[in-house]
Chains A and B, each alone.
Chain A
């Protein structure tokens, strides 16, 4: 039961703080075209489409039916999936399940966001429970700051420890033409940048971006005919537990802990740092970049700062994290999770150009969002057995 499924093409748009040259449908279309081109397929080859974004960022109801001109869904099946920040990975997951179910052979997914079209915090606030929490909720940055403070208090991590993550990711972005921000900075630069919400400073935080990312999934029946190096989906797992902020532990972040345990058990990962060649992780602040690698079992709890400082996760290290520059460099919220999957795919296909990790055969992509929700997808060069 179930078909083995691979990704045979990816497409990312140029990302910037405001893509004024295109409307939403045209942005979607740009990513879709690039993915079709990458896979050397045409629209008529596509059996179904999955789309995702966060509604209130663009103010459009029923985005799936609205998107038709851009997504190519005319007289095709299309559904919308949406789960906040994890939307990008949720969209990728849906693409996988469509094909793995055996009902569709080639499925296009497109995740997008035009954050420039709205007041990001104003929109995000509407995600919060209206009666008990919305009146006091301070936006995503404050939620991240909350978790960061708790982590620092528990393990004695410092602001400099987190700053190293910002330096790493922003430096990696210099190799990525798709990234929104290309900043070459030092720890000192981060420490001097304005404080937004303690301990998160300006350079510790992700930007707000317009962008779209498309993926094409194909079943084992056609993947190898379409693409010389299809990238196989080895496994997925996710946890979206939150209902109210105080309901669950943030340190450690229980959703990431469980998702990692579930995924690793499924596909036989016991030493993630060794077994994965590269990772693209959705980490919207440098502090999440320090903490969540512990939840992923890359090091013991409290060991994040040491691992970051060791250089193991830098380009050239044993397991580079975010060669693309990650979320600190580009955050078109709905698209971001899909970009993680696309970047991992490019790595395994050997198409990552300047940001290529040599010989990458196994990659881990993560999604984050909603409120402290976690998605994980493992990809590999070898067809699962």
Chain B
């Protein structure tokens, strides 16, 4: 190592990227969120060619590109397909522990919705449990209008 390298202290420069975003939800997603906000209803999208109901909803079928999709009202209740209980804290976690991430297959849907699970006793979550959506009182039309899913 050269002399100047040995004598040099390594400087670290700190910074942050500050770019605000506004993501257009699109007409399909907007309809979904409006139903969620105004009526606490969860809508999936059905492709007749694939015979699959997608949740969250898609404008067109991601498997076959069929654009003739139909809205399907789903139950706000379903089965817990998988879950994960974080044992660390993060500024990104939207709830205080204990809470879990879960993949919930709502009754009537063929794909799972990734969301939060709460209101369970520690160690009592199991895959296959029935869970039901708990909605916020003040809903604004986004995915967090569902506060979390709770074991039934």
Chain B CB within 8 A of A20 CB: yes
State A134–B15 Cα separation when bound (angstroms): 11
Q: Is the CB of A23 within 8 A of B21?
A: no
Chain B CB within 8 A of A306 CB: no
How far is the CB of B9 from the nearest CB of chain A, in Å?
15
If A23-B29, A26-B26, A29-B60 touch, does A117 touch B65 (CB 8 Å cutoff)? no
Interface 9-residue window, one of A67-75, A162-170, A367-375: A67-75
Chain A CB within 8 A of B7 CB: no
If A21-B27, A56-B17, A130-B15 touch, does A26 touch B22 (CB 8 Å cutoff)? no
Chain A CB within 8 A of B4 CB: no
Q: Which of B19-58 contact A (CB under 8 A)?
A: 19-29, 58
Chain B CB within 8 A of A4 CB: no
Q: Among the listed A72, A114, A116, which residue makes an inter-chain contact with B65, where contact means beta carbons less than 8 Å apart? A: A72
Minimal Cβ-Cβ distance residue in A for B23: A117
Q: Is the CB of B26 within 8 A of A23?
A: yes
Chain A CB within 8 A of B82 CB: no
Q: Is the CB of B62 within 8 A of A20?
A: no
Q: Which of A242-295 contact B (CB under 8 A)?
A: none
Chain B CB within 8 A of A19 CB: yes
If A56-B17, A122-B18, A126-B17 touch, does A23 touch B58 (CB 8 Å cutoff)? no
Chain B interface residue count, CB cutoff 8 Å, equals 22
Minimal Cβ-Cβ distance residue in A for B26: A23
State A134–B13 Cα separation when bound (angstroms): 12
State A69–B27 Cα separation when bound (angstroms): 16
Q: Is the CB of A122 within 8 A of B62?
A: no
If A119-B19, A123-B19, A131-B13 touch, does A114 touch B62 (CB 8 Å cutoff)? no
Tell me which residues across on chain B come within 8 A of A130, comparing CB atoms: 13, 15
Minimal Cβ-Cβ distance residue in B for A126: B17
Chain B CB within 8 A of A33 CB: yes
If A22-B27, A72-B65 touch, does A117 touch B18 (CB 8 Å cutoff)? no
Q: Is the CB of A118 within 8 A of B21?
A: yes
Chain A CB within 8 A of B79 CB: no
Tell me which residues across on chain A come within 8 A of B17, comparing CB atoms: 56, 126
Q: Which of A57-104 contact B (CB under 8 A)?
A: 58-59, 68-69, 72, 74
Tell me which residues across on chain B come within 8 A of A309, comparing CB atoms: none
Q: Among the listed B15, B18, B25, B59, which residue makes an inter-chain contact with A29, where contact means beta carbons less than 8 Å apart? A: B59
Chain A CB within 8 A of B1 CB: no
Q: Is the CB of B62 within 8 A of A74?
A: yes
Tell me which residues across on chain B come within 8 A of A68, comparing CB atoms: 62
17 sampled A-B residue pairs with Cβ under 8 A:
A18-B24, A19-B24, A21-B24, A26-B28, A26-B59, A26-B60, A29-B59, A56-B17, A58-B23, A59-B21, A72-B65, A117-B22, A117-B24, A118-B22, A119-B19, A122-B20, A126-B19
